[in-house]
Amino acid sequence: MTRFALKDLIDDRPEDGVFRINRAMFRDEELFNLEMRHIFEGGWVFVGLATQAENPHDYFTTFIGRVPVIVSRDGEGTLRCFVNACPHKGVRLVQKPCGSARMHVCPYHSWTFDSAGANRNIKWQKRGCYGAGFDQENHDLAAVAQFGEYRGFLFASLNADVPSLEDYLGEARALLDLVADKSPEGVELVPGRVRFTYRANWKMQLENCSDQYHFTSTHPSYIRILEQRAKEKSDDVVEASLGASDFWQEGAKGVTGGTFSFDHGHVLNWGAMGVSAASPDFERAEEIAGRLGEPRRNWIFNMRNLTIFPNLQIADNASSQMRVIRPLGPNLTEMQTWCIAPRGESAEARRFRIRQYEDFFNPTGMATPDDTVCYEEAQTGMAEQERGWLQGHARGFTATQDGGNPFSDMLGMTPARNVVADAQLCDESLFQSYYKAWAERMAEVVQ
């Protein structure tokens, strides 16, 4: 029945030194609908941070794939996640992105639900002449099949048949720990959410976050400005954290970073950065070393681009960013982005973090637009049908080792695969992890 054969989409022949992805993966409408159903609505996805609903009755709304959901903290303080739709006529119950409410009243016929999702009132129920079948139905909001928290990061699945969240995150948990452990109080989102769309496939963003190869090619205009700023040390402009490091520079010597790949599609690419005052975390350097030990502290100062498949990315490079990827169509993606920051940092460190963030990460800044424009140009260029196979997933093939290395050992973490890189290696083999997870989740419909 199925239109798609896996071998036509992912050419994975390790014995021949081949790993290739077909352009159809980025363009096909039918494949996109299957991705929505089987990847985004068929397994764990990130929904938000626990701090987004901090107090009893606080809530925020988002989407799991195409399905609107509410994450709500009930009166007892327990976080819950429901489909954001009234069981009566299917109307989206809560329209606001966030708020605090003991009760949610449907705007259409006033069915009312409490912050734990329980139905508290069906208008004029007694005079409604309902049949026995209606009375036997559950009128509460539909809880999602699985919902879990790891260190303040909230994940949900509309499919009950998934591994535990702990198993799903697996060894990549150690990398979320590095984010959460910047402060003994954990992390929070700086107020102000920046959203943008781009007219290309969601997997362009997935890959770009992990793509060290593009940095000096896509961002020379930004790099020149940061080099200039590093020279001048003017008080008028913000110091760039990347300006104080060389892992991305052509001439850098020795091991400059590498990649880790994990089961279920999570990946990290990292670059060696010192414990430097160009990072807003510098004020905590001693405190963190005392609390976590020097190896973990040094890891916190490294450049780290983490993807938790399929929709969460945390970039710790020019500043610290949390991104949530929301695919809207094969050619359209919405990004929700925040500055993620350690709680309790000094006012000066927070200001520094925010300034570094805006210049690099915002769609109104000096770096991200050059990425998103390239995604769109890829989407246009991938219309070529003659040569279906892309050549963009091949670097690092012979550098890939199973298991961990001394750098992952420092975190007590065992990835599935790793690459230790010099400045010009720029591994692309970590993308394989995305597509292996893609194939697993799509196994029912793409064999």
Partner 1 sequence: MSALQAELAHLLSHEARLLDESRFAEWIDLYTPDCLYWMPAWREDGTLTQDPDTELSMIFYRGRRNLEDRVKRLNSGHSVASNAMTRVTHMVTNVILDEDDNATARTRAAFLVNVYDARTSLTHNFFGSYRHAFRRDGEAWKISEKIIHLQNEVIPTMLDIYSI
Determine if 237 is a binding residue for partner 1 (CB under 8 A): yes
Determine if 368 is a binding residue for partner 1 (CB under 8 A): yes
Member of 91, 98, 101, 143 binding partner 1 (CB under 8 A): 98
Helix or strand (DSSP H, E) at 370: helix 368-381
Q: Judged by CB, which is closer to partner 1: 319, or 418?
A: 319
Task: Write the CA distances from 25 to 355, 374, 443, integer angstroms.
Answer: 37, 17, 15
Q: Judged by CB, which is closer to partner 1: 62, or 210?
A: 62
- Least spacing, CB of residue 190 vs partner 1, in Å: 5
Q: How far apart are CA 398 and CA 421, in angstroms?
A: 12
Q: Are 29 and 35 in contact (CB under 8 A)?
A: no
Amino acid at 202: W
Number of residues that bind partner 1 (CB under 8 A): 50
Member of 27, 92, 139, 355 binding partner 1 (CB under 8 A): 355
Determine if 27 is a binding residue for partner 1 (CB under 8 A): no
Determine if 362 is a binding residue for partner 1 (CB under 8 A): yes
Cis peptide before 163 (omega within 30 of 0): no
DSSP character string of 201-222: -HHHHHHHHT-GGGHHHH-HHH
Q: Judged by CB, which is closer to partner 1: 100, or 424?
A: 100
If you ran DSSP here, which 8-state letter would residue 21 be given?
E
Q: How far apart are CA 69 and CA 82, in angstroms?
A: 5
Which residue carries 């793509």 as its tokens? 211
Q: 148-167 mask for partner 1 (x: CB under 8 A)?
A: --------------------
Q: How far apart are CA 127 and CA 237, in angstroms?
A: 68
Member of 33, 170, 199, 344 binding partner 1 (CB under 8 A): 199
The helix-helix angle for 431-441 and 202-209 (nearest 10°) equals 140
Member of 194, 273, 300, 416 binding partner 1 (CB under 8 A): 194
Determine if 107 is a binding residue for partner 1 (CB under 8 A): no
Give the chain's end-to-end CA distance (angstroms, integer): 11
Interface residues with partner 1 (CB under 8 A) are 52, 60, 96-99, 190-199, 218, 220-222, 224-225, 228-229, 234, 236-237, 334, 338-339, 347, 350-351, 354-355, 357-358, 362-366, 368-370, 372-374, 376-377
